[in-house]
Chain A
Amino acid sequence: MPRFLTDHEHGVVSAAVDRLVPPLDAHPGGAALGVADYVDNLLGAFTFDPPRIFAGGPFSGRFGGEASFARFIPLSPHEELAWRTRIEGSRGMPEREFNGPTRGWQEIYRNGIVALGADFCEVDGDEQDRRLHAQGELRGVLYVHACEGAYGPPEYGGNRDRAGWRAIGFEGDVQPRGYTDDEVSGRA
């Protein structure tokens, strides 16, 4: 259920992210990891209540304890101001422009996806790379979001089935199990 991206935009983000975080050997790549879902969750964070900005705690539940990451933490009014401004842009609202205007991620994605071309998903990889390079602002934002979506906790919408962590040999949150002293000090 998309929150912000249209089906076409979701497809373009998936295709683009597979150029930035491509599949290789045991690594499924950004598209299969659900980076586009991560981006959609972020751009549409305020369609959730509480907004999907800060996952809860203390434990993921993946190594014992109650699964609490999925209970997102409500934002303070200032935090809402900051995150709405990042996501939606300042749109001329004085309370968002105390240090000047901000272009929001929604606009950067929406305009950037148009600029990549309606046939972006059909052209070959080299052409996709050329077009992404020409859209430096989108490419820069998308790469950071791709890393977050590939290797962050899955509660934010990406890292599907924790496949990003499995590919790189990382467990994420292991509380409350932790690691034994031998697992810390030993070679393996």
Chain B
Amino acid sequence: MPEPRDCDAVVVGTGPAGATAADVLTGAGWSVIALEKGRNHLLSLEAPFAGLGHVSNDEIKSLRRYFLGPDPFLEPRTYRRDERDGDRLFAGEVNNLPSTVGGGGFHADGKLPRLRAVDFKPYSSLGPIEGADIVDWPVDYDEMEPYYAQAERLVGVAGDADANPFAEWRSGPYPMPPGADMFGAALTTEAATRLGYHPYRAPTGVNSVPYDGRPACNNCGFCAYYGCPIEAKGDPIAPLRNALRSGRCEIRADSYVERVLLDPAGKQARGVRYRDLDGDAHEVSARIVVVAGGAWETPRLLLRSGLANSSGLVGRYLMYHFQTFVIGRFPFRLHGHRGRSVTHLHDDHMIIDDDVRRFAREHGLPYFRGGLTEHGGGGGPVMEGVYTSPGVAHTREMLESTMRDRMWAFTIQGEDLPQATNRIDLDPSVRDVHGFPAGRATYDVHPHEVVASRYYAPRLVAVMREAGAESTFAATSPPLEGDRAGRRSASMSRHIMGTCRMGDDPATSVVDRWQRFHDVENMVCTDSSVFPTSTGYGPTLTIVALAIRACRDLAGLPKLTSSRPR
């Protein structure tokens, strides 16, 4: 007779990956305990699971004081480029995504694109690049399409199905029409169109009309980096509320998972051990362990648990998006603080044409790809002030607001190639408040990212000029020192991927095509750790779609299918 267990599945992490797992598994009749190391500022855990009203449009709390965590004093992370930098260049804030019930879903303004067919098969479609381990994903677009459609319904995505000429086929329209276009985006999309590009209204996980019992967005403008005070953003609240309503989900906040526990034979997970706010240790036993802490915390948990790593690849192939920013200063105000932070995108900089191949060959590459390009507004006034020099220059700048109200920005979320040397591991001496080793990023850029950025930045400068900018400049994240990542700051990208790569061969991947660990058969990863490549698209919708697919399989639910419209 089997031992009684606390639940069918214990889920580690409550961001998009964990929330989706909790929703799908409870929907299949499973009992779920979801553990979150951060606080709960999202929703009441008692029916009817109303919003707590803690999040607000407060730049100090949200961007200066780590309200949604992680506080870098309590949970520092460290960064270096390679071993030659020593144990680390610095400790503190590195790639922080919120550590709170709802996780990384909080920080985003919810641009939720799908990948395209080529993005799942980059090795066979585009070929290798020296110094990187480009591989095909063990899943393709046609198989993923119904899961994307389901993910869009779950989160609630507003978009225009016909707007992007590079988009892949869809089985149906978006659940909602697009929301209001930002004024600045009208200028830059018209300019981009005149120069031959193809901007489109961004698919956005923000309600344009009332949806799923939540109100339409009222354009308040505090979107990127803020929790939504009126619940108009579907991620992260929709799947967690669904799971709670099933009556089979328990969410435990302030619960820091120390390690995954294996049975004596070492092939099966039997649960996890976590500590609560008082530091007391608890164990949760489960049939299935779902790790969903994100591509930084998941490998950190596995490495400190000492498991699932016969391939030696846990933590390796860390990828971000290489961000190229082209900033335009306009002679008039653009009020970029109104609306959904970014309302338009274009995909042209992911399309390889003859000129791209020529430029690539001149720089020793067979090809390169940039990424999705966001048309968006500036940040808040505290941030504007901090980035300005003290003295009269400060006040003049704040009055003129060339870096906020008169600023518009393109951001390329550039594809970052997978390199085995880029990794998350455990820092040898920096500790978190619980006494466990901090995670450490070892990361440097591949020439691909640098060449792509240098090709596309001047093209976006031309678009910004065409739109009416008086002056422009370009910057990157990570900042570059020559052809290397800079020493002084890590990548600002919050798109973190690839540290438990998915594949069929246990020697070259950590999880299989159903996101189960090769080494631990009843453990699944549903976060972006599993991404074999980074593509040039924001990861969240793909995380959610993959999590639906993996968890339906886990629960024995039938595969979702769809067909191309004729």
Q: Whole-angstrom distance between the alpha carbons of A107 and B221 in the complex?
A: 37
User: A24, B399: Cβ atoms under 8 Å?
Assistant: yes
User: A56, B386: Cβ atoms under 8 Å?
Assistant: no
User: B180, A181: Cβ atoms under 8 Å?
Assistant: yes
Collect the chain B residues with CB atoms within 8 Å of residue A56's CB: 53-54, 56
Q: Whole-angstrom distance between the alpha carbons of A29 and B380 in the complex?
A: 18
Interface 1/0s, chain A 8-38, versus B by CB < 8 A? 0000000000011111111101000000000
User: B230, A175: Cβ atoms under 8 Å?
Assistant: yes
For chain A residues 135-162, which have a beta carbon within 8 Å of chain B? 139, 143-144, 146-148, 150-153, 156
B58 is contacted by which of A20, A167, A173 (Cβ under 8 Å)? A173
Query: Which single residue of chain A is at the shortest CB-CB distance from B278?
Result: A77
Interface 1/0s, chain A 166-187, versus B by CB < 8 A? 0111101111111111011111
Collect the chain A residues with CB atoms within 8 Å of residue B76's CB: 99
User: B55, A58: Cβ atoms under 8 Å?
Assistant: yes
For chain A residues 97-154, which have a beta carbon within 8 Å of chain B? 98-99, 102, 129, 139, 143-144, 146-148, 150-153
Q: Whole-angstrom distance between the alpha carbons of A177 and B57 in the complex?
A: 13
User: A187, B183: Cβ atoms under 8 Å?
Assistant: yes
Interface 1/0s, chain A 69-94, versus B by CB < 8 A? 10001001111011001100000000
User: A77, B277: Cβ atoms under 8 Å?
Assistant: yes
Query: Which single residue of chain A is at the shortest CB-CB distance from B253?
Result: A76
User: B56, A185: Cβ atoms under 8 Å?
Assistant: no
User: B385, A185: Cβ atoms under 8 Å?
Assistant: no
Q: Whole-angstrom distance between the alpha carbons of A144 and B230 in the complex?
A: 30
Interface status of A46 (Cβ within 8 A of chain B): no
Interface status of A4 (Cβ within 8 A of chain B): no
Interface status of B65 (Cβ within 8 A of chain A): yes
Collect the chain B residues with CB atoms within 8 Å of residue A147's CB: 381-382, 385-386
Collect the chain A residues with CB atoms within 8 Å of residue B430's CB: 99
Interface 1/0s, chain B 235-256, versus A by CB < 8 A? 0000000000000000000100
- Chain B residue total in the interface (Cβ 8 A): 63
User: A68, B56: Cβ atoms under 8 Å?
Assistant: yes
Collect the chain B residues with CB atoms within 8 Å of residue A143's CB: 386, 390
For chain B residues 70-93, which have a beta carbon within 8 Å of chain A? 71, 73-74, 76, 91
Collect the chain A residues with CB atoms within 8 Å of residue B338's CB: 179, 183-184
Collect the chain A residues with CB atoms within 8 Å of residue B55's CB: 57-58
A185 is contacted by which of B57, B181, B431 (Cβ under 8 Å)? B181
Collect the chain B residues with CB atoms within 8 Å of residue A79's CB: 71, 74
Q: How far is the CB of B528 from chain A (nearest CB, A)?
A: 26
User: A55, B56: Cβ atoms under 8 Å?
Assistant: yes
Collect the chain A residues with CB atoms within 8 Å of residue B220's CB: 173-175, 178-179
Q: Whole-angstrom distance between the alpha carbons of A137 and B182 in the complex?
A: 40
Collect the chain B residues with CB atoms within 8 Å of residue A81's CB: 74, 433
Collect the chain B residues with CB atoms within 8 Å of residue A156's CB: 60
Q: Which of B337, B405, B435 has the most chain A CB within a 10 Å cutoff? A: B337
Interface status of B563 (Cβ within 8 A of chain A): no
Collect the chain B residues with CB atoms within 8 Å of residue A150's CB: 385
Q: Whole-angstrom distance between the alpha carbons of A185 and B395 in the complex?
A: 28
Q: Known interface pairs A69-B56, A170-B381, A173-B57. Does A21 touch B394 (Cβ–Cβ under 8 Å)? A: yes
Excluding A69-B58, A129-B391, 15 further A-B contacts by CB distance (< 8 Å) are A55-B58, A57-B229, A58-B56, A68-B53, A81-B74, A102-B73, A146-B385, A153-B60, A168-B401, A174-B220, A176-B229, A176-B230, A181-B179, A184-B181, A185-B181
Residues of A at under 8 Å CB distance from B?
19-27, 29, 53-60, 68-69, 73, 76-79, 81-82, 85-86, 98-99, 102, 129, 139, 143-144, 146-148, 150-153, 156, 164-165, 167-170, 172-181, 183-187
A-B contact pairs, 18 of them (CB 8 A): A19-B390, A24-B396, A27-B395, A55-B61, A57-B54, A68-B56, A76-B277, A99-B76, A99-B91, A148-B60, A151-B381, A174-B57, A176-B218, A177-B218, A179-B339, A184-B219, A185-B186, A187-B183
